[in-house]
Structure 1
Amino acid sequence: MIHNGVEDTRHFKIHQSDVISTIEKLKASQGKHYDASYFFNLAIEFCLEKQQIEKRPIISIMGLTFPEEIIYAFGAQPLWILGGSFGSALYADRFVPRDTDSVTKASLGCIRGGMTPYNDDPDLLIVPITTDSMRKVAHMLSKEVEVFPVDVPPIKSDRYSKKKWMYQINSLIQVLEKKTKMRLSYKRLYDASMMVNAAKTEMQRLLYYSTSSSGFIPVSLVMFIINTYYFAPNILEWTQKLMILNDKFKSWKTRNIDGSAFFAHSVKPSIIIAGSPIYFPNFKIPLLFDEYNVHVAAYVNEMTRRAYSKTEIFGMKVGLDKLLEIVAHTHYMEDSSPSFPHNTSRMKFITDAAKNNVIDGAIYHVLKGQIDYDFDLIYLEEYFSANKIPAFRLETDYNYQDIELLRIRTEAFIEMISAKYENSINSDSEKMRA
């Protein structure tokens, strides 16, 4: 059985302290003109308070590489195991090699250490196999909970990949029908897809307003709100709350707040932040960037990339099999996880962000042990170099002891691109006067 008595251990106390400390810092960073208390409360409930889900099977998903529309279509509650907790990563140290990446360790520790938000064990754990580490973890956990491993085909262009992906999806549906005692129907899958699409539309709006503003919406708060999508027991309510917040940002788009123009980012150098995923509560990277006078033109990681992966089905007249194929295929083709050797989806997203904005620098965040992201960086460095965009690799893990070193290195890079930016502005001003 999965251990559920971890509340009395030092690992849960570290996890608890991490959650509370991060939320306090996020609250301090938010503006006085908007209220994000719903999202803060949601995170506290999910991370620290044991809950009881009534009349709904709990289907756990490890990582982001699975279409949640299918889970919602069965009336089940998806429990996302994303692996952002330093405390749960410490708990897993006894089970895995020392150099295992923080996300894998934290995911394992979350389940084995009983740090999930529900009193009951999950009815099923779906583990998309995106790395060798996840394959090992799936095997380890299969002794404690029912595991359904999903082997993600690594070559999207291979003609057999789509068949293999759909075969596994259909096999899983048979398992879900037994678990939920419910048959998948066209209406349920369509409604679930529209519900997820609506949530992703609001995520896109949030990203648009934040990247268009002059630091009015902090980097950390944006990443946090998107993270809370994976905490919400009621996606319709979450979407409505974010819509209200986005509508406020929209109303401020063309007017000044306290004399500060909402869209006046031209006075700051613009950067792209890309690389490893940023999972709550380990927010030392986004909180670090709140300290600097830069405009973040794009955030590119698995979580933000996923916000743009919508299943376009509105008005379609197709059968259940075709609808399921569209949902599954869209998710697979748009997936930007490290399981693909040629990650064109991620690369295009980053290069498009650079093309569509005037970029003064790129910061690539890599969690120790996630070498797949370093392979992507090789190709990106060639692109950045060809376009004369300074790039900076920022490596870390979930330990907070390196925060001062990260701050020093990041500050040096920001100062360098800021000086270059100011020289460019001054040069342009002189040309105009001439």
Structure 2
Amino acid sequence: MMRTSTRYIVVLAFCLISIVALYILNDNIDKERERGKNSRPELKFQSEGDKDGEQQEYKGQKNRKQSGKRTKTQYAMKNSNSGNECTPKKDIIFTKVHKSGSSTVQNIFLRYGDKHDLTFVLPPMGHHLGYPNYFNKEKHMLHTKDEKYNIFCHHARFSPDVTEVMPKDSVYISIVRDPVDVFESAFTYFKIDYRMGKVDNPQALSIFLSNPEKYSKSMRNTVHTRNNMLYDYGIPAETFNDEAKLQSAIDEISEKFSLIIIGEHFEESLILLKDLLCWTLEDVVVFRLNARNENSVTKLSEQDRERIRDWNKGDVMLYKHFNQTLWQKIARYGRDKMAAEVDKLHKLTNRYYKNCVQSDHALNGDADFDVWEPRGVKINGFILKEEAKANPVCERMVKPEVLYTEELRRKQFGTNIPRRGQLRKRGIQKRFNPNQNQRYA
């Protein structure tokens, strides 16, 4: 009996020792795993595709010391200008300015927000947030349940409602371009010749510039006929002949916006954008979208170019101001460093282009995505390489704004989108009405 009891005690003690040993072993394994996580030599961020259409890793900061649980700072990147750690910005207001290259920049924000599942301010239908009227948050957008939004990047005439809808710490960004090119492009694209009664007259632009005040006053709708960029920033038309008020308005824009991209210095602007938002170089790679075919561009005489500057004096002031501030930012950034970053962006863009694009001069019917074209105006589209057609990264980079907006609307709201009849009851127009009485003066 004693032998049996002793045997039971020995077996029980052995089991207890085994359990304790197993617990200690597992605890040591967990600690070792945790140490392994916290001693990784570098952070890696997912890039959007290499030449095979597969994702590759973009190596972030090396040898970062990490300890404890992961926090936001462990995923922070380094600001290439200051060298300090920063967190990627996600709350962005991009004021889209007509005929300035803004559709190209918008694609950067559409892709980034789509990739990171951010929330957009979206129109109930189409791709305009109430334009050409001032943006109205009650009429011109679809509302989420929590009323929280990350990105505002669709065509809208800037108003205080933009600021009210978006987070207080949003980053304000926009774009301007040489006013001569903006005016010529708008005149052609928005068929100002039709409003003048000079349909398809190749001299319509010169005729308009011979007496712009006379022709603009004869039009029922004068949107896109003077100071187009200032109009999109929400500057009242009544100020267009008052240089002091124009300068005051430009100063207000300068105070509110952190970066105004210059179309003629696009790549340098993208480097500053990347640095401002603490994004990767891949995030700002982009192809030129919604560009007119060269046959649809009006050749201007020097006389007409000077007349455009005189008639659009406000836009000229705006452009000169922000062109100057851009070069001040580049000087602070460092010109040699800027040249090196632009070279990297060139190479990366060329790699994406080589892997994705077969042609960027395709017309509707041949392009992978048709784009809206005004009568008599041809817009260049893209044909993707066969091996890139199934690559979502390549597809998003060439997807037209109208189609991308529709897809984001379905992604964000599903089937819970008002029908046209409901929109009419709320006073929302189906599309831009060319006969609206929108006068500058």
Q: Which category describes the TM-score, using the shorter chain as reference length?
A: under 0.3
TM-score (norm 1): 0.26
Normalised by the length of structure 2, the TM-score is: 0.26
